[in-house]
Structure 1
């Protein structure tokens, strides 16, 4: 047990020891900003990748996700596995989008502007 005059033992999160030692590849590796170097356990990101990660985090992770049913034939939003426009339940896929995106689609449809989602699985 250290006494009152003994120095504190060095901890793994000690900032003086941050750049020393081996670098390990982790599945969820920390991505640092412009100030980081690869030696200090951070990876550099390009501007577009940083912006896309920010959008994903703000719109999907920390905000409301909404699961919608999308018709693969007409590209319109459906409900409960049913496409109201095609009057069928064939080719209806479930998709997660931000709730703000769903509200935008509904607002555009109320102004007689029909946004259609083109799903990759059903596109030609």
Structure 2
């Protein structure tokens, strides 16, 4: 096997693996809805403290988004639903970096933006648990 053939195979794998992983994850969420199957991980915070963490309902929200039900996704986890487009854009950016063999870098956010994001996350966690206390 020549070096150019190995290079071509490596480039194809580099391009295909993230897409295959994403396709498998989407297929699993579409075929096995999280509210009907128990193999999805359970949140230990909710299980032991009966409080919803920031991620509680995120898998169900993503499944609802894949089915096009935005209202249900917002009900399951509004923060995940609202951040999903930004995560998809960032994933596309990272995929481009992988294809072009560039380093993937975390975005350098200004300190006030980081504090604001943390504040929104804390506020979201508090508000979503007000009805559970």
User: Which TM-score bucket, shorter chain as reference?
Assistant: under 0.3
Structure showing greater relative contact order (alpha-carbon pairs closer than 8 Å, 6 or more residues apart)? 2
Structure 1 or 2: more helix by fraction:
2
Structure 1 or 2: more strand by fraction:
1
- Structure with greater Cα Rg: 1
